[in-house]
């Protein structure tokens, strides 16, 4: 027969085992939930080199991947005055495209004045998806200073040309333009356009206001054009190209694939 101390010890042991099993169960549930969430997303991780920027205070960082856009503002302090890492999470699937290897994306970082909030310099880079199930890193450096161009024009026009001679069976695509941190996108019924055309290249036209929240668009500012659709595979479900603004008097033309 057990004495009182033995019974107390057994009860303590039983309680400890029960607590351990409960913790293990809850941890498994939480871990599985995290895994389930991660299965639906992938990450673009921008490593931004600040060493060439004079007294950085605020960055506006924008990213595009898999027909999604992201924007965030980052405050710079002594802890991150040389380098800052900015992660963006994107859905793997949406109603127009599913991410895949070699799909293209881009990230831009705009260095803003601490008092004015206007862009002083910027850096943009394109990348190819190497890991559709995890983290894709991209380096952002070589910041360019802003040009100043006097012009009475209030708008910036961009014409995106999309050759589809190899994809004439495509039905729907999404076209995006980005200029000075501003995004505009539109869906295009390709099949409907081809019904009334003998060509194999379609055009998507965009008009941006020159005045943005970070200052007026200037000559030499970089802009991007992207087209997305799972029906464009292979080679990629999303393709992007970039150019620099050359005129305010007529559309700036760019081929997106």
Q: Among 9-13, 80-84, 124-128, 240-244, which is the least confidently predicted range?
A: 9-13
- Residue 157 in contact with residue 250, Cβ under 8 Å? yes
Q: Would residue 23 count as lying in a domain?
A: no
Q: Would residue 203 count as lying in a domain?
A: yes
Domain that holds residue 116: 41-255
User: What is the per-residue pLDDT for 191?
Assistant: 83
User: Max CA-CA distance within the chain?
Assistant: 99
User: What is the per-residue pLDDT for 192?
Assistant: 81
Higher local confidence (pLDDT), 130 or 199? 130
The neighbouring-strand residues paired with 206 are 158
Q: Would residue 149 count as lying in a domain?
A: yes
pLDDT tens per residue across span 207-232? 999 999 999 999 999 999 999 999 99
Q: Would residue 146 count as lying in a domain?
A: yes
Q: Would residue 4 count as lying in a domain?
A: no
Higher local confidence (pLDDT), 222 or 168? 222
Query: Does residue 91 surpass a pLDDT of 70?
Result: yes
- Residue 149 in contact with residue 249, Cβ under 8 Å? no
Query: How many domains does one find in the chain?
Result: 1
Higher local confidence (pLDDT), 166 or 30? 166
Q: Would residue 102 count as lying in a domain?
A: yes
pTM above 0.85, yes or no: no
Q: Would residue 74 count as lying in a domain?
A: yes
User: What is the per-residue pLDDT for 3?
Assistant: 52
User: What is the per-residue pLDDT for 24?
Assistant: 46
User: What is the per-residue pLDDT for 149?
Assistant: 76
Across all residues in the chain, what is the average pLDDT? Answer: 86
Query: Does residue 89 surpass a pLDDT of 60?
Result: yes
Over residues 150-174, mean pLDDT: 92
pLDDT tens per residue across span 110-152? 999 989 999 999 999 999 999 999 999 999 999 999 888 778 8
Kind of pairing between the strands at 215-216 and 211-212: antiparallel
Where is mean pLDDT largest: 67-76, 161-170, 190-199?
67-76
Query: Does residue 7 surpass a pLDDT of 60?
Result: no
pLDDT tens per residue across span 54-85? 889 999 999 999 999 999 999 998 777 799 99
User: What is the per-residue pLDDT for 146?
Assistant: 84
Q: Would residue 58 count as lying in a domain?
A: yes
């Amino acid at each position: 027969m057990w004495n009182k101390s033995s019974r107390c010890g057994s009860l303590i042991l039983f309680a400890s085992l029960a607590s351990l099993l409960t913790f293990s169960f809850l941890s498994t549930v939480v871990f599985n939930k995290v895994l389930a969430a991660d299965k639906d997303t992938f990450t673009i991780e921008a490593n931004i080199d600040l060493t060439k920027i004079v007294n950085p205070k605020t960055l506006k960082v924008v990213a595009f991947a898999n027909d999604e856009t992201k924007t965030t503002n980052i405050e710079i302090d002594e802890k991150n005055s040389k380098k800052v890492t900015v992660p963006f999470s994107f859905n793997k699937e949406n109603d127009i495209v599913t991410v895949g290897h070699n799909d293209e994306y881009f990230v831009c970082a705009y260095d803003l004045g601490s008092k004015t909030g206007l862009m002083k310099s910027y850096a943009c880079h394109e990348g190819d998806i190497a890991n559709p199930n995890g983290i894709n890193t991209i380096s952002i450096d070589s910041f360019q200073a802003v040009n100043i161009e006097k012009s009475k024009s209030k708008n910036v026009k961009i014409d995106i040309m999309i050759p589809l001679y190899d994809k004439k069976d495509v039905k729907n695509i999404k076209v995006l333009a980005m200029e000075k941190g501003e995004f505009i996108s539109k869906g295009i019924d390709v099949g409907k356009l081809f019904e009334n055309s003998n060509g194999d290249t379609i055009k998507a036209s965009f008009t941006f206001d020159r005045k943005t929240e970070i200052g007026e668009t200037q000559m030499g500012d970089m802009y991007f054009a992207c087209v997305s659709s799972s029906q464009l595979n292979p080679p990629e479900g999303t393709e992007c190209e970039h150019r620099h603004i050359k005129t305010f008097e007529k559309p700036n033309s760019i081929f997106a694939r």
